[in-house]
Chains A and B, each alone.
Chain A
Amino acid sequence: MQNPYIPAPVEVVKIVTEVDTKDIKTFRFAFQNKEDEAAFQYLPGQFAELSIFGKGESPIGIASSPTQPGYVEFTVQKAGVVTSALHEMEVGAVMGIRGPLGNSWPIDFLAGKNIVIVGGGFAFTTLRSLINYMIDDRNRSRFGKITVIYGARNPGLLIYKDELAAWAKRDDINLNVTVDKGDADWKGREGFVPTVCREVAPSSENAVTVICGPPVMIRFTLPVFFELGFSKENIITSLEMRMKCGIGKCGRCNVGEKYVCKDGPVFSLAELDKLTKEY
C-alpha cells in the first residue's frame, strides 16, 4: 500500500530571491529518485506539502508547470516555522515533498476558451504555473486569448520579474502588470488590480477568469467581473486553509463538507456559493 504520509526526498537545486524584502523566494527542487519524479504527475493549481524533517510540513502551491520536466518549483514567503527553515536552506540541501495534492485549475474546462488571469501579490504562484502551461508550444493552440492582470503593492514586490519581461515580448499574451504605487524607476502602470481590470475590460464572451490574491483584492475585483458579464461558473479561484495531512483525514481544512486539501483548493464561485462561508 502506498503511504501518502511519506515525502519524496528532493534536493534544492536553485533558489531565487524574488522580492526586495527578501522574504519571498522561489525554490527549485530535483527529485533524488527517478521513480518519485515519475510518480509526481501534477497539473497547475495543485499543491504539495514541503517537508523539512525536524520542523514539519507546509502546504504550498506548485509554481512550476508540468511542461517543465526535471524539477518542481515553489515560491514561498517566510512566515512560520517550516517556511523560515526553508528560507535558511542553501542549494544542495536535502528535504522532502509530499504530493501532488488537491485538484487543479480546471484545464479541460479552460480549454477552448479565452482565459483571464488575475493575480495579486505573492498569490501569483499557481497562476504562473497555469500561464507557463498554457503558453507551452504543445498547449498554446488549446486556449484562446490569454489576458494577464497582475499587481503588487510596489515594483520591488513583483515576483517572477524575468518571466514577466519575457511574457511582455510575446504577442500571444495580453500582459498587464501594475503596482499600487511605483517608484522613481517604475515606468509601468500604477493602480489597484480592480481598477486595472476595469480598464483592461476583458470580454466575458467564451471567457473564464482565474483569480488568486489577497481577500481584499478579490472582494473588489469580483464586482468588476460581474459587471463585465462573467458568470459565477466562469470565475475560478483557489482557497487556503490550515492543513496537516493534505489528504482529507486530519479534519481541519473543511469548508462545509468539502476538504480544501482534497476536494479543492480550486473552486468556482458557483461552487463556493453552495458551501458554508467559513474560510
Chain B
Amino acid sequence: MEKRLIKKETLAGIVGELAGKMRVCAPMKAEDQVLFRVLEAGEKPLVDFANAKNAPKNFFFPRTETLLKFTRTGKGMVRAGEPEEGEKTLLFGVRPCDARSFTLLDMLFDQEKYKDPYYIDKRAKTTIVAIACVHPPYTTCFCTSVGGNPTDSAGVDLLLTDLGNAYLAEFLTPKGEELLAAFGGSPSNAQAEKAKEGIAAKAAAEITSHIPAHEIKPILDTHFEDPFWNTLHQKCLACGTCTYLCPTCHCFDISDEVKRNDGIRIRNWDSCMFPMFTKETSGHNPRSSQKERWRQRVMHKFRYYPDNFNAIACVGCGRCVMACPVNLDIRKIVTDIAKI
C-alpha cells in the first residue's frame, strides 16, 4: 500500500482541480448545514467539518432513481430505453462511519443471487476518499460500539488522517492508487505512521458514548413479544427522518410515472416507519401500529441483519439521534433492551 504525506493547505485545491476532470461529490456548506453535493470545476470542498447532515448513500442509492423507461404503443406501454449509467465519481470527505455503511449496503445490494445493477454500477464507478475523525465530531458518535472506529478504513479507497502538520494519505485499494498522481505529496515515513497510531488510539478513546449493540442480539432473538415494545414507540411521530438520514437504511418503493405517452418506473426511498409501507390491498397490515414498526426498525438493524449478513446495520453516526424531533435515542433503546 502506497502512503504519502500531503500538505494540509493543498488538499482542498487538489480536489477542486479534480472536479474539473471528473464528477466529484463532497461536503459543502449549504446555509447552516453541511451537505454532500456535486462540485463545480475548481470548487474547493470543505476539509474541516463535523459530518454532513445527509448520509452519502444517496450517491449509490439515490432518493429517486429511474429503473426503466417506457412508451405508449397501440398494444400498450412497452419498455423504451435504459436509464443513463452512472459516471466515474470521486466521493470526497466521507467519514469512516459512512464509508463503513457502504460495506453494509454491499451485503444487501450485491448478494450472490439477485444483484442490484443500479447500485453496483454506481458503487463500482466511485472512489471513496475518507477523512478520519481525529476528533470525533459529536457527543452522539458511537461508531466504536457497532464495529467501527473513527479512523477505520472499511469501505475506503483513500484514507486521509490529519497529523497536525500534514495529511497522511493511505492509498488502500487499486481505485485509491489511481489517485496517486492527482494527490501527489511526499513519501510517508515511520514517524508519520507512528503519529497516526497515536492519533487513532486517542480518537477512539474520545468516543464516550457506548452501547451494548452486540449484546442485545440474543435478547432480541427471544423477546419479539415483550412489554418493552408497548411503550417504546409512543412519542414517535412516524416522520421517518431517522430512516432517511440513516446511512444503512435501504428500504424503497417502486412506482410508475407517466406524462402523455412516455413514462418511467422509479424507485424512491421508503420507510418502515410509515403505515403504508406494509399495508396490503385487502386493507390488512401486518405491522398495524407504530409499535410494530419500531420493533421492525430495531429488529432489522440489530437482529435480522446480523442473522442474514453477520453484521449490525448501524454505523454509529448518530444522525438519527440528532435529528429525531422527539428525541427518540437509539442508544437509549439499545441500552434499555440490554436490561430486559
Known contacts A80-B281, A262-B114; is-contact A245 B252 (Cβ 8 Å): yes
Q: Which of A53, A245, A250, A277 contacts B79 (CB 8 A)?
A: A53
Would you call B270 and A250 a contact (CB within 8 A)?
yes
B272 with A247: CB separation less than 8 A: no
Whether A1 sits at the interface, judged by CB under 8 Å, is: yes
The A128-186 residues at the B interface (CB cut-off 8 A) are none
**Assuming the A-B contacts A5-B68, A54-B263, A96-B79, are A257 and B109 also in contact, with contact meaning beta carbons closer than 8 angstroms in the complex?**
no
Q: How many A-B residue pairs have CB under 8 A?
A: 119
- Indicate whether B76 reaches chain A with its CB closer than 8 angstroms: yes
The contact string, 1 if C-beta is below 8 Å from chain A, for chain B 253-270, is: 111101000010101001
Whether B254 contacts A245 by the Cβ 8 Å rule is yes
Shortest Cβ distance from residue B114 to the other chain A in the assembled complex, whole angstroms: 4
Partner of B254, one of A79, A80, A250, A279: A250
> Does A224 have its Cβ within 8 Å of any Cβ on chain B?
no
Partner of B75, one of A57, A94, A251, A276: A94
From A6, A56, A253, B68 is in contact (CB under 8 Å) with A6
> Does A66 sit at the interface, judged by CB under 8 A?
no
- The answer on a CB contact under 8 Å between A3 and B117 is yes
CA of A5 to CA of B251, assembled, Å: 15
Q: A54-B256, A244-B252 are in contact. Are A94 and B308 (CB under 8 A)?
A: no
Q: Is the CB of B67 within 8 A of A252?
A: no
- Of the candidates A53, A244, A249, the one whose C-beta lies within 8 Å of that of B114 is A249
A278 within 8 A of B: yes
- What is the chain B residue whose CB lies nearest that of A7? B79
Across-interface contacts of A53 in B (CB, < 8 A): 70, 76-79, 256, 263, 265
Measured between beta carbons, the chain A residues less than 8 angstroms from B292 are: 278
Given known A-B contacts A53-B265, A242-B278, A250-B253, A5 and B67 have beta carbons under 8 A apart:
yes
Asked whether, in the complex, the Cβ of B303 is within 8 Å of the Cβ of A257, the reply is yes
The answer for the CA separation of A2 and B113 in the assembled complex, in Å, is 10
Contact residues in B for A106 (Cβ distance below 8 Å): none
Residues of A within 8 A of B277 (CB): 242, 252
Contact A9 B78 (CB under 8 A): yes
Select which of A7, A96, A249, A255 is within 8 A of B109 by beta carbon.
A249
Alpha-carbon distance A53/B80, docked complex (angstroms): 11
Given known A4-B114, A276-B224, contact A57–B254 (CB-CB < 8 A): yes
A52 interface hit (Cβ, 8 Å): yes
How many residues of chain B are within 8 Å of chain A by beta carbon? 49
Residue ID in chain A nearest B75 by CB atoms? A94
Q: A219 interface residue, CB < 8 Å from B?
A: no
B300 in contact with A251 (CB, 8 Å): yes
Q: Which of A4, A56, A92, A254 neighbours the largest number of chain B CB atoms within 10 Å of its CB?
A: A254
Q: Which residue of chain A has the shortest Cβ distance to B272 in the bound complex?
A: A251
Give the docked Cα–Cα distance between A254 and B301 (Å): 13
Interface string of B318-335 (1 = CB under 8 A from A): 000000000000000000
Known: A1-B117, A262-B114. A251 touches B76 (CB 8 A): no
B307 interface hit (Cβ, 8 Å): yes
| B77 & A251 in contact (Cβ 8 Å cutoff) | no
**Known contacts A54-B256, A241-B286, A252 near B78 by CB under 8 Å:** no
CA distance A27 to B310 in the complex (A): 42
Residue A240 interfacial (CB < 8 Å): yes
24 contacts between A and B (CB under 8 A): A1-B120, A2-B115, A2-B117, A4-B115, A4-B116, A5-B67, A53-B77, A53-B256, A94-B75, A241-B278, A241-B286, A242-B277, A242-B278, A248-B114, A249-B116, A250-B267, A251-B250, A251-B251, A254-B300, A257-B308, A276-B299, A278-B287, A278-B292, A279-B286
Question: In the complex, given contacts A240-B280, A252-B277, what are 9 additional A-B residue pairs having Cβ atoms less than 8 angstroms apart?
Answer: A52-B77, A53-B76, A53-B79, A57-B254, A79-B282, A241-B280, A251-B300, A257-B304, A277-B224
